[in-house]
Amino acid sequence: MEIINTVEGLKQALNSARKEGKSIGFVPTMGALHQGHMDLVSRAVAACDVVVVSVFVNPTQFNNLSDLEKYPRTPEADSELLKKFGCDIAFFPSEAEVYPKKLVSPRVDLGGLDTVMEGKFRPGHFKGVVQVVSRLFELVEPQKAFFGLKDFQQVAVIKKMVEQLKLPIEIVPCETFRTDKGLAMSSRNKRLTEDQKEEALIIYKTLIHAKTDSGNFSPEETAIRAKEFFMQGTLQLEYLNIVDPLTLQDLTDHWVPGATMCIACFCGEVRLIDNMILN
């Protein structure tokens, strides 16, 4: 595995691969890697000749400075994991490499996908996501890019961005990787105590509860019942929405195929998100 820190080094390595006619798969991450990330890497390895994984904590998608400062950073452990799971190029750029002076980021009309849920509670978040992902796509130029569906809304935003910018990149959404008990794998889990990890299981239990309810109740009723169930736990709910998977607008009276419940909450100081297709 090659570890690269500069845009120039990345271009040289990828130009060599392209000359040999190799396909390029890309997994963008913010580091603090876990088994969920490795599942994405494994999928990329199976589908592409050369796999690039970026590790970059993007400051422009954090609307909370404290959250940015506390975000876990484990570059040495990340490198070891990536090598073990077959990554070819690990890209660890500095902020100056990703965002050089005079860089102009594309403007993308996300059609309202960025104004609900995460967009409502984290103003500017998806502007930062579009900025960093479009920049990384420009640098890597992959044929396929792999994203975890734990960040369901982010995947919808990136698909829209690729469509708007007419990029020749296939976005490959991958199922959320969970612990044996159902907790969605997240880099933020490293900030949880063992007791908090147990308390956080109320998120998965609520999603399962809602999936069962969806066969008997409307989306609006299912959401109300899910919130009541969630409140039996100790976590602080930020939002719980059942949405159309294409528009991300709330569903009320009628179900649509792929209707998805999205939850954001706090376990102590740690913000967690999760989602599940209900029907």
Annotated binding residue 30:
yes
Tell whether residue 143 is among the known ligand binding residues. Answer: no
Our CA dihedral for 242, 112, 27, 211, rounded to 10 degrees, sits at 10
Q: Is 148 within any annotated ligand binding site?
A: yes
Indicate which residues carry an active-site annotation: 37
* 34 known ligand binder: yes
Whether 275 contacts 152, CB under 8 Å? yes
Residue pair 3/87 in contact by the 8 Å Cβ criterion = no
Is 149 annotated in some ligand binding site?
yes
Tell whether residue 1 is among the known ligand binding residues.
no
32 is in an annotated binding site: yes
Q: Is 182 annotated as a binding residue?
A: no
Q: Is 119 annotated as a binding residue?
A: no
Is 40 annotated as a binding-site member?
no
Q: Which residues are part of a known binding site?
A: 30-37, 61, 148-151, 154, 185-188
Binding-site residues from annotation for beta-alanine: 61
Question: Residues at the annotated binding site for ATP?
Answer: 30-37, 148-151, 185-188
Residue ranges for the binding site for (R)-pantoate?
A: 61, 154
